[in-house]
A and B are shown apart, each in its own frame.
Chain A
């Protein structure tokens, strides 16, 4: 592709050169090189067996030249040269004569080293070239004509080259307008995939923008010559030269940084400094794949746990806790779909196929106004788009799971698909266990399937389809089969009304259900089932109303339908008495508006407001409890029956999303934010880990919505040309009406669920230190968090006080937590990753003794969560070996070999107390009591 393009440009170049034969550029028309127009710098250089990068560094020392080359192509090159006071042409000529390597130099001193083909440089002639304005004009005329022809087809230009000047708009306007807007998509040059969150800024005006979810951008610039600098994570920073006449379109193709030009100083986008919001962590799939995990399967959620402010109660626990939030306070979005249970195997694996994911973004603090419904965080898992240009796929084989993904164009350059699947063969492992282990009949199976389709109808319209299915079934050697599954489908239509206004409309259907069955004993056979379904419709508009204001507004609507529980006999011989709880239904609506307001390049605000409105609908029998008394079965007065569609309860309220940024220097930024959130759906669990029988519950007359707000402050400092990012964030959070559980709460099949829960208020605060080195041979991050999460139940009318009404720690309150996640690239094909985690043990409630009361021996429990299990420490190590990178082979392969819990430390997961021979005995359980080796094989074709 690249070489083909080059050939075309060479032809164009020749034509131009012939047309402007009077040009003084042509001083040496050798095949090898084109010379430059200024007097060359004299260079002295003395190298022996130097690599290409050493060589280029030496040349760059002059300060006059910048060397560009593909290190992969040049990795076998060794340079031995000793010259004094020669110009660069002579040196390059000397070094490369007799090799297949070629070079070219443009007028800016950029030196391009290539193999077999030469890069043309004459597009870079500046129109204000003093020496021969006439001929320059001619040269530009040729270019403009070509562009003009292209623009006649009324399609935007695809800009893929740095040193070409793209003319935009109608030339007849000249440069009189002063300002004009350009817009378009930023895409990956290789796959054609739209790139989200790419940062674009103008070198002249200092205006900046970011591509939206569709990869679309719009930016107002001064007419005339300009340089647009484009940067994003995973791509090296690049630029496009433009000549702007009037409003127009420019699609930008940029190259992926998968094989980075390591010796070229990659100036990463200082996005952590530029964006107004705080508490946002974005991880690319490349980083995710580097972090070692148990069984070697790249795992989004396990990687999230290495970030500051994200915790879990233990290794087997599904879900995660963000800044003191509960596991149900995270909105997990897979593209547009809400995933209710993001884990396989009760929490051992996350249910996201790593091969389909582009990146993962976690909002801990500044949650954009367009998201809502959960208190703590939004986890956005974005998939990549399929390859629009050729068919291919990936495959991976691990100890417990395998995966296969296929992708390709539906219509070339217009639409693509990815079909991905993962499955386990752990049943095979169970078969290998000795009989004595007692798991001979154990079965555990899970799989997930994804279908992703995208199609560009035209420049203004694009649709994306996401289909997701995950399913688990395990019997754990008992006669009960635990089954659960997520099913999601969504369709998103992105439409551009104008350069200033674009929009997206998404609708879909989310479903989570479980059904546990016991079939062996026919008299007692039963099926216990739960189901939640939601139908949603979202609209979102981005209006680039003014260079300093970008408005985001839209609506969210969710219609919930819950089957809170059914317990039915499985066959006719079963004596189980059926019990089916009444369905629940509700509508949650929200309106949002936010303004990203850039006051000056150094000061910006993000002002967001969301108004959410929740309506619980009939048919429903609602119990009424005596006012002023605890909500207990004993205090039940009567009940009210609501007809279908009747409103049983309404909750509503505004949510404020505010953040501001102040850049003190180019590399130092301070941000502050305030966020408030409302949550109308709750996960009912009184176990520390999410169990396969946990259910969701909608707010109703007796269950109030949760409310939380957070203030946060952050200081961000980038060091060493933005290659080292550091930050300190402080937060304080209040949580109202969090549901905690009364002792002895029965949560399943409970018609009076409100009698077993209590509303507690909480506070969480913490300080997070983060050091990140996004690129380089050594890359990774280190985080340290000190945080507390405390709850308080001091309302005597709500029931028995917890810990005498004082604050008590949440079960995931682990004050000190430090994580190092690092990767060292020994070469392009060999890297080593490590992950080291330390944290305070989590709080537990344990009996501190026993006593005799009311005719029985009784455990004496201390204050809730007043004891802690021993501290947690774990080290993981993995080695990643890539096969060769030859471009023309059928498949690229890679190996991951590693050890989880390298030190074999026996980290307790939980403790329990059981009565044996009249004594209460305590035990601790650990999940991985020794080092666990793993190996994984990956294939890309």
Chain B
């Protein structure tokens, strides 16, 4: 890691710094100016197709549009498109629009033949992916993890006895339990009298179930890097590839962590597409380091050959495997919050002042007239996550 960091430093930083230096030396002017090229990126953007044709199960296709650099929006879903899986023998399977540019098919079990995806967008343009042979994905043998000095490395292991898979792609979803910094035994009691502007009228003890609602939460994550592996160089199709690394002090390792790894097989063209995309967008530091290259795939616009489209739609099955990782040590992970502990008397003015930003955690006196409040971010885990227990979560 160190090595890479320093090499990149030497290469990436030197020239811009030097140029700025010369600028400063000579002119005292800033030589860096905004650069706004006039581009022929279309107003609507190019269609971006993400997903693959799942031979056994639900095919999920995400459609979005490329956007101009200056546009603030993160994700521009493509709505109201008509998506179909079409077999070589012209069998058609509909892939129906769900929400936000996500399109899903029924649970299918497709017979062995070549398939491709056909898309007709709302603006009437028709797109097709290349007709390709389905590629079954071998089972994930295991998802293993190993505690290194700085954290936990998670690896995926798989093999193909028939030596046919060779190119692998992984994604993962992760979920981990979190606990609030402090236990909140109390809760606010809200006014149930309509028409007044008094919201909070006092506090009450929480039931054990209610305590859990603010103490046990879950956070979710997913892979945002392209994870690829190839065994093409090996005489046997065996693969073992690191897919995630969790540093020791990360919240993921505080209580319980779970990762669900999804594996799909790629053909060579798909592998090259993802490798290029990875190199283009995950290792680019500055213009002085790598010369980027264009992103192409196997989607073409058949109604307008000049229209570009991005994405690679393969045909494969998917394999999943979930594991849980328990922290080895008692984690002392604390969410960032104001650690002051306040003691207040129960009156409406005080309540109005502190609620709901502060959370009562316990009574201060036997009289129950004063109680301890803390920053809600310390006591209410819903600030940080979701308190709905995932169905697969162990008790």
Please indicate the chain B residues that have their CB under 8 angstroms from the CB of A692 in the complex: 10, 14
- Report the nearest B residue to A846, measured CB to CB: B37
| Given known A689-B15, A743-B293, A928-B26, contact A921–B34 (CB-CB < 8 A) | yes
Smallest CB separation, B293 vs chain A (Å): 5
Please indicate the chain B residues that have their CB under 8 angstroms from the CB of A437 in the complex: 24, 28
Question: Are A859 and B7 within 8 A (Cβ)?
Answer: no
Which one, B128-136, B197-205, B277-285, B322-330, is touching chain A?
A: B277-285
Please indicate the chain A residues that have their CB under 8 angstroms from the CB of B2 in the complex: 524, 575-577
Question: Are A433 and B37 within 8 A (Cβ)?
Answer: no
| Given known A476-B21, A567-B3, A626-B232, contact A803–B74 (CB-CB < 8 A) | no
Question: Are B66 and A476 within 8 A (Cβ)?
Answer: no
* A-B contacts, 13 listed (Cβ < 8 Å): A476-B21, A518-B6, A576-B2, A633-B233, A693-B7, A849-B68, A854-B226, A860-B46, A861-B294, A867-B39, A921-B69, A922-B69, A927-B19
A11 lies within 8 A of chain B by Cβ: no
Question: Are B287 and A804 within 8 A (Cβ)?
Answer: no
Please indicate the chain A residues that have their CB under 8 angstroms from the CB of B293 in the complex: 743, 800, 802, 845, 861, 864
Question: Are B14 and A476 within 8 A (Cβ)?
Answer: yes
Chain B contacts with A in 4-61, Cβ cutoff 8 A: 6-7, 9-11, 13-37, 39-41, 45-46, 48, 50
B275 lies within 8 A of chain A by Cβ: yes
Q: Which of A577, A861, A906 contacts B280 (CB 8 A)?
A: A861
- How far is B171's CA from A925's CA once the two chains are assembled, in angstroms? 38
A170 lies within 8 A of chain B by Cβ: no
Smallest CB separation, A914 vs chain B (Å): 7
Smallest CB separation, B244 vs chain A (Å): 12
Q: Which of A348, A693, A929 contacts B10 (CB 8 A)?
A: A693
Question: Are A626 and B279 within 8 A (Cβ)?
Answer: no
B346 lies within 8 A of chain A by Cβ: no
Smallest CB separation, B119 vs chain A (Å): 16
Please indicate the chain B residues that have their CB under 8 angstroms from the CB of A908 in the complex: 35
Question: Are B225 and A854 within 8 A (Cβ)?
Answer: yes
Report which residue of A439, A477, A857, A922 has the largest number of chain B beta carbons within 10 angstroms of its beta carbon. A922
Smallest CB separation, B273 vs chain A (Å): 8
A interface residue numbers (CB < 8 A to B): 316, 346, 348, 429-430, 433, 437-439, 442, 474, 476-478, 480, 482, 516, 518, 524, 526, 528, 567, 575-577, 579, 625-626, 629, 632-637, 686-689, 691-693, 741-746, 748-749, 799-804, 811, 844-864, 867, 906, 908-914, 918-930, 932
| Given known A803-B294, A851-B64, contact A579–B34 (CB-CB < 8 A) | no
B144 lies within 8 A of chain A by Cβ: no
Smallest CB separation, A864 vs chain B (Å): 5
- How far is B293's CA from A862's CA once the two chains are assembled, in angstroms? 7
Kindly list 18 other residue pairs between chains A and B, CB separation below 8 angstroms, not including A693-B11, A862-B39, A914-B286.
A477-B21, A480-B10, A524-B2, A692-B14, A743-B292, A744-B280, A749-B7, A802-B293, A849-B69, A851-B45, A853-B277, A857-B74, A859-B281, A859-B292, A862-B294, A912-B16, A928-B26, A932-B26
Question: Are A476 and B7 within 8 A (Cβ)?
Answer: no
Smallest CB separation, B15 vs chain A (Å): 6
Q: Which of B28, B33, B70, B289 contacts A919 (CB 8 A)?
A: B70
Question: Are A847 and B69 within 8 A (Cβ)?
Answer: yes
Please indicate the chain A residues that have their CB under 8 angstroms from the CB of B28 in the complex: 437
- How far is B20's CA from A437's CA once the two chains are assembled, in angstroms? 9
| Given known A526-B6, A636-B233, contact A906–B290 (CB-CB < 8 A) | no
- How far is B75's CA from A687's CA once the two chains are assembled, in angstroms? 32
Question: Are A922 and B35 within 8 A (Cβ)?
Answer: yes
Smallest CB separation, A759 vs chain B (Å): 16
B72 lies within 8 A of chain A by Cβ: yes
Report which residue of A635, A848, A857 has the largest number of chain B beta carbons within 10 angstroms of its beta carbon. A848
Smallest CB separation, A221 vs chain B (Å): 58
Smallest CB separation, B234 vs chain A (Å): 9
Please indicate the chain B residues that have their CB under 8 angstroms from the CB of A746 in the complex: 7
- How far is B13's CA from A221's CA once the two chains are assembled, in angstroms? 65
| 3 shortest interchain CB distances as A-B pairs | A744-B279, A634-B230, A855-B224
Question: Are A851 and B48 within 8 A (Cβ)?
Answer: yes
- How far is B40's CA from A846's CA once the two chains are assembled, in angstroms? 12
B374 lies within 8 A of chain A by Cβ: no
B67 lies within 8 A of chain A by Cβ: yes
| Given known A477-B21, A742-B279, contact A852–B288 (CB-CB < 8 A) | no
| Given known A634-B232, A693-B10, contact A864–B294 (CB-CB < 8 A) | yes
Question: Are A855 and B35 within 8 A (Cβ)?
Answer: no
Chain B contacts with A in 294-339, Cβ cutoff 8 A: 294-296, 310-311
Report which residue of A526, A689, A850 has the largest number of chain B beta carbons within 10 angstroms of its beta carbon. A850
Report which residue of A518, A634, A932 has the largest number of chain B beta carbons within 10 angstroms of its beta carbon. A634
Q: Which of B3, B13, B26, B171 contacts A579 (CB 8 A)?
A: B3
| Given known A433-B24, A579-B3, contact A925–B277 (CB-CB < 8 A) | no
B65 lies within 8 A of chain A by Cβ: yes
Question: Are A635 and B50 within 8 A (Cβ)?
Answer: no
Please indicate the chain A residues that have their CB under 8 angstroms from the CB of B276 in the complex: 743, 800
Question: Are A863 and B25 within 8 A (Cβ)?
Answer: no
B222 lies within 8 A of chain A by Cβ: yes
- How far is B34's CA from A924's CA once the two chains are assembled, in angstroms? 6
Smallest CB separation, B63 vs chain A (Å): 11
Please indicate the chain A residues that have their CB under 8 angstroms from the CB of B230 in the complex: 632, 634-635
Smallest CB separation, B289 vs chain A (Å): 7
Q: Which of B15, B20, B65 contacts A346 (CB 8 A)?
A: B15
B192 lies within 8 A of chain A by Cβ: no
- How far is B272's CA from A914's CA once the two chains are assembled, in angstroms? 25
Please indicate the chain A residues that have their CB under 8 angstroms from the CB of B45 in the complex: 849, 851
Question: Are B35 and A923 within 8 A (Cβ)?
Answer: yes
- How far is B15's CA from A187's CA once the two chains are assembled, in angstroms? 46
Please indicate the chain B residues that have their CB under 8 angstroms from the CB of A742 in the complex: 279
Smallest CB separation, B261 vs chain A (Å): 14
Please indicate the chain B residues that have their CB under 8 angstroms from the CB of A929 in the complex: 23, 27, 29-31
Question: Are B50 and A853 within 8 A (Cβ)?
Answer: yes
Question: Are B288 and A853 within 8 A (Cβ)?
Answer: no
- How far is B280's CA from A221's CA once the two chains are assembled, in angstroms? 69
Please indicate the chain A residues that have their CB under 8 angstroms from the CB of B65 in the complex: 851
Smallest CB separation, B9 vs chain A (Å): 7
Q: Which of B21, B33, B290 contacts A743 (CB 8 A)?
A: B290
Report which residue of B14, B24, B276 has the largest number of chain A beta carbons within 10 angstroms of its beta carbon. B14
Question: Are B15 and A923 within 8 A (Cβ)?
Answer: no
B223 lies within 8 A of chain A by Cβ: yes
| Given known A924-B35, A925-B31, A930-B26, contact A858–B287 (CB-CB < 8 A) | no
B291 lies within 8 A of chain A by Cβ: yes
Question: Are A922 and B36 within 8 A (Cβ)?
Answer: yes
Please indicate the chain B residues that have their CB under 8 angstroms from the CB of A567 in the complex: 3, 7
- Report the nearest A residue to B231, measured CB to CB: A634
Q: Which of B9, B46, B283, B296 contacts A804 (CB 8 A)?
A: B296
- Report the nearest B residue to A565, measured CB to CB: B7
Q: Which of A429, A846, A853, A919 contacts B310 (CB 8 A)?
A: A853
| Given known A864-B294, A921-B34, contact A687–B289 (CB-CB < 8 A) | yes
- How far is B6's CA from A528's CA once the two chains are assembled, in angstroms? 10
Question: Are A848 and B39 within 8 A (Cβ)?
Answer: yes
Question: Are B7 and A920 within 8 A (Cβ)?
Answer: no
Report which residue of A439, A480, A852, A855 has the largest number of chain B beta carbons within 10 angstroms of its beta carbon. A852
Question: Are A691 and B288 within 8 A (Cβ)?
Answer: yes
Question: Are B223 and A855 within 8 A (Cβ)?
Answer: yes
Question: Are B66 and A854 within 8 A (Cβ)?
Answer: no
Question: Are A516 and B21 within 8 A (Cβ)?
Answer: no
Please indicate the chain A residues that have their CB under 8 angstroms from the CB of B310 in the complex: 851, 853, 860
| Given known A433-B25, A634-B232, contact A923–B32 (CB-CB < 8 A) | yes
Question: Are B19 and A528 within 8 A (Cβ)?
Answer: no
- Report the nearest A residue to B288, measured CB to CB: A687
- How far is B66's CA from A271's CA once the two chains are assembled, in angstroms? 60
Chain B contacts with A in 368-395, Cβ cutoff 8 A: none
- How far is B22's CA from A429's CA once the two chains are assembled, in angstroms? 11
Please indicate the chain B residues that have their CB under 8 angstroms from the CB of A430 in the complex: 25
| Given known A864-B293, A929-B29, contact A849–B18 (CB-CB < 8 A) | no
